[in-house]
Amino acid sequence: MEWNPAVKVIPLGGCGEIGLNMMVVEHEDAVIVIDAGLMFPEDEMLGIDIVIPDFSYLRQNRDRLRALILTHGHEDHIGAIPFLLREFDVPIYGTGLTLALLQEKLKEHHLLERTVLVRVEARESVVIGPFTVEFIQVCHSIPDGVGLAIRTPAGVLIHSGDFKIDQTPVDGKRLDLARFGAYGEEGVLALFSDSTNVERAGYTLSEKKVGATLRDVFKECGGRIIVAVFASNLHRIQQVIHLAGEFNRKVLLNGKSMVANVRIAREMGYLDFPREWETSLHELPRLPDTGVLMLTTGSQGEPMSALSRMAFNDHRKLKVKPGDTVVLSSKFIPGNERTIQRIINHLYRQGAEVIYEQVREIHVSGHAYREELKTLINVVRPRYFIPIHGEYRHLVKHCQLAAKTGVIPENCLLVENGSVLRFTREAALVEDRVETGRVLVDGKGVGDVEGLVLRDRRHLSEDGLVIATLVIDRESREILSGPDILSRGFIHEGTKPEILDEAKCVVFEVLDRLLSRDFQMDEMDLQNEIRRELKRFFIHTLDRHPVIYPIVVDL
């Protein structure tokens, strides 16, 4: 079998998980990267701020790296770029809004001045080494999203980007089925398609359906309206602001990302409303409740968001009061349900009425349902089908859907992060694996928090900490100070002081046993023995397993 010219495609993130999207396409001396996204930490990642992909494979191929190509401006597709640019000097291609949102991020990281940003338009093509990349307009929950058609020496690869088929989009920009279809007529080697909503039957609702529901809310509400929405969902924001103008309500923008995104979108023409519709915190007390609309972030219950602080009556300038209506206009992201429910309960305690997805149709997805996924497959008619952007079950179900749609089952290739897909004009093969994974970002530390640190954090969070300190004279072996027992997150000294007193006795017993022996005292041995005996004591007495940290100072 003739394998040249061979093209390799390697997902470094986003296959088997939601978020962390990153994919490599390579041929001979050229490597291009599609997206570089982040993931927000899972519950067990205590103290972690964000998660980014492992760049090890890119480091190994630094000299071949030609470009970073972006599909749209969501964090799970652009959030890791500042960390990527710290290591790699690479030009970035993207549409106008995508690059504008990225510019704000790069300014914060002081990377903008040394980064080459190349703006492209839908239906525009760029040549990067052996690849010709066309950007194809798609419809998503953020404007300026694109799919990609990549001409390679082995054939055409189609990357769907994140997409849905909305027949009545707010901005009138529909998914460009004509371009996808043109490639389908020409012949497509492989389709890489968004799998997020493959479990949902039928079609996604149009974004305009949310507008109709929100209009009903505006009609019914006799007090202030507070709408919490993702700051990137500019179509939703546009509809809400237009309703505010229709119902003579002034708009208060609240939240750093909300203010920044609205400013950028207005400057670029993606949002359109008169400046006199806006108000400020200073003017707010002078407005009647029926004349106020607040647009805020915090729809996922983020602890430091304005909505969360308002719910817990912890915001210095904004308070929720009886008569307010709070609209959570977003989907509950898995893992956030409990936090959001707590906020809803506290908003009700403040006297507000709360509207959310389970009670009204105030959110629609930006990802295609099953019938839309089938439509794209039928239009593109790929020889090979590869599901991306989804957890493992999503990928499996998307392969099954593609097979039912007509793709040869053996040509539905299920890959995970690190899998190497090798394409030629004649065949495709999943071969080998490359190093990949997740890198944890904690404050300014990137990758310095790993499994052992997280395990210790979980242990501390679940069982607490006990510190035993003492000072010993090296020569005489007399105790100069201590032992002192300090407890944090284990037991309160005021509730069971006898437990800590008994723990001191345990330490004394260890000291009597070891220090009375005629041998050179080893500080480490003494610490380990204190740890072992205290562990036995706490298990026997309380059936608890705190982290025990002995400190022995010998003078």
The CATH number of whichever domain residue 240 belongs to comes to 3.40.50.10710
Lowest model confidence (mean pLDDT) among 59-63, 251-255, 317-321: 317-321
Comparing CA positions, the residue from 201, 205, 97 lying closest to residue 142 is 97
Per-residue pLDDT reduced to its tens digit, 260-287? 999 999 999 999 999 999 999 999 999 9
Reduce the DSSP state of residue 443 to 3 states and report it: coil
DSSP string, 299-326: TT--TTSHHHHHHTT--SS----TT-EE
| Catalytic, out of 35, 54, 194, 442 | 194
Residues pairing with 467 in the sheet: 486, 549
Q: In which band, very low, low, confident or very high, does the pLDDT at 399 lie, cut at 50, 70 and 90?
A: very high
Percent of the chain with pLDDT over 90: 59
Q: Which of 335, 355, 375 is the last residue of a domain?
A: 355
Percent of the residues in the chain that have a pLDDT greater than 70, as a whole number: 91
Same domain, 173 and 265: no
Helix (H) or strand (E) holding 337: helix 337-349
Mean pLDDT of 173-197: 97
413 and 351 share one domain: no
| 303 pLDDT higher than 70 | no
Q: Which two tokens stand for residue 148?
A: 């990609």
Residue 517 binned pLDDT confidence (cut-offs 50, 70, 90): low
Is the pLDDT at 402 greater than 90? The verdict is yes
| Residue 1, domain member (yes or no) | no
Which residue, 355, 386, 404, sits at the end of a domain? 355
Whether residue 303 is preceded by a cis peptide bond, meaning omega within 30 degrees of 0, is no
Question: Does residue 459 lie within any of the structural domains?
Answer: no
Structure tokens at 195: 């799998």
Asked whether residue 392 carries a pLDDT value surpassing 90, the answer given is: yes
What pLDDT does 309 receive? Answer: 84
The DSSP H or E segment spanning 98 is: helix 96-108
- Asked whether 273 and 241 are in contact (CB, 8 A), the reply is yes
What DSSP element (H or E) covers 25?
Answer: strand 22-27
> Which pLDDT belongs to residue 545?
84
Question: What six digits make up the tokens of 307?
Answer: 């909505």
Same domain, 541 and 474: yes
Query: Beta strands 131-137 and 125-128: pairing type?
Result: antiparallel
Element of type H or E holding 265: helix 256-267
Catalytic residue among 74, 363, 367, 394: 367
Please check the confidence at residue 92 and state whether its pLDDT lies above 70.
Answer: yes
The domain boundary, picked from 336, 355, 374, lies at 355
Domain identity same for 36 and 184: yes
- Average pLDDT over every residue of 496-505: 82
Mean pLDDT of 307-318: 82
pLDDT at 363 over 70: yes
Residue 456 counted as domain residue: no
Q: Could you tell me which residues come within 8 angstroms of residue 491 by beta carbon, excluding any fewer than 6 positions away?
A: 464, 499, 500, 542
CATH number at residue 493: 3.10.20.580
Q: Is the predicted pLDDT of residue 444 greater than 70, yes or no? A: no
Q: Is 153 helix (H, G, I), strand (E, B) or coil?
A: coil
pLDDT, position 148: 98
Same domain, 21 and 88: yes
Same domain, 215 and 347: yes
Examine residue 25 and state whether it is found in any structural domain, yes or no. yes
339 and 267 assigned to the same domain: yes
Q: How far is CA 359 from the centre of its chain?
A: 26
Q: What is the pLDDT of residues 120-172, one digit of tens each?
A: 999 999 999 999 999 999 999 999 999 999 999 999 999 999 999 999 998 88
Q: What angle do CA 52, 115, 266 make, to 5 degrees?
A: 85
Active site residue 194: yes
**334 vs 286, more confident:** 286
Q: Summarize the confidence of residues 85-106 as an average pLDDT.
A: 96
What's the CATH number where 162 sits?
3.60.15.10
Note whether 68 and 172 are same-domain residues.
Answer: yes
Q: Which residues pair with 354 in a beta bridge?
A: 326
Residue 398 lies in a domain: yes
Q: How confident is the model over 37-65, as a mean pLDDT?
A: 84
Residue 313 shares a structural domain with residue 441: no
- For the ranges 20-34, 47-61, 487-501, the one whose mean pLDDT is highest: 20-34
CB 364 within 8 A of CB 209: yes
- What pTM value is reported for the model? 0.84
Residue 457 placed within a domain? no
pLDDT-derived band at 3 (thresholds 50, 70, 90) equals very low
**Of the candidate ranges 46-55, 64-73, 237-246, the one whose mean pLDDT is the lowest:** 46-55
Flag whether pLDDT at 46 surpasses 80: no
For residue 382, which of 159, 161, 69 has the smallest C-alpha distance?
159
Q: What is the DSSP letter of 117?
A: E
The answer, yes or no, to whether residue 2 has pLDDT greater than 50, is no
Alpha-carbon distance of 287 to 280, in angstroms, equals 10
Phi/psi of residue 252, each to 5°?
A: -110, 120
pLDDT value at position 287?
94
Q: Residue 496 burial by CB count (10 A; 0-12/13-18/19+): exposed, middle or buried?
A: middle
> What is the reported pLDDT for 478?
76
Q: How many helices (H) and strands (E) does the chain have?
A: 15, 27
Both 410 and 506 in one domain: the answer is no
Residues 172 and 292 in one domain: no
279 neighbors 311 (Cβ within 8 angstroms): no
pLDDT in tens, 12-27: 999 999 889 999 999 9
Q: Phi and psi of 393, rounded to 5°?
A: -65, -35
- Of 61-65, 242-246, 494-498, 520-524, the one with minimum mean pLDDT is 520-524
Which of 170-184, 297-311, 415-429 is least confident?
297-311
- Answer yes or no: is 73 within a domain: yes
Instruction: Using alpha carbons only, give the angle 220, 223, 229 rounded to the nearest 5 degrees.
Output: 80
| Mean pLDDT for the stretch of residues 425-453 | 79
Q: At residue 73, does pLDDT exceed 90?
A: yes
On the question of pLDDT at 200 being above 70, the answer is yes
Q: Are residues 44 and 176 in the same domain?
A: yes
Instruction: Decide if pLDDT at 483 tops 80.
Output: yes
The structural domain count of the chain equals 3
Domain carrying residue 343? 207-355
Torsion (CA) 301, 305, 308, 311 in degrees, nearest 10: -150
Q: What is the pLDDT of residue 1?
A: 39
Phi, psi of 408, deg, nearest 5? -55, 125
**Which band of pLDDT confidence, cut at 50, 70 and 90, is reported for residue 333?**
low
- pLDDT reported for residue 521: 57
- With respect to residue 336, please indicate whether it lies within any of the assigned structural domains: yes
Q: Which range (88-97, 173-182, 370-379, 497-506) has the least confidence?
A: 497-506
pLDDT score for 28:
92
- For residue 195, CA distances in Å to 13, 273, 369, 408 come to 14, 35, 9, 18
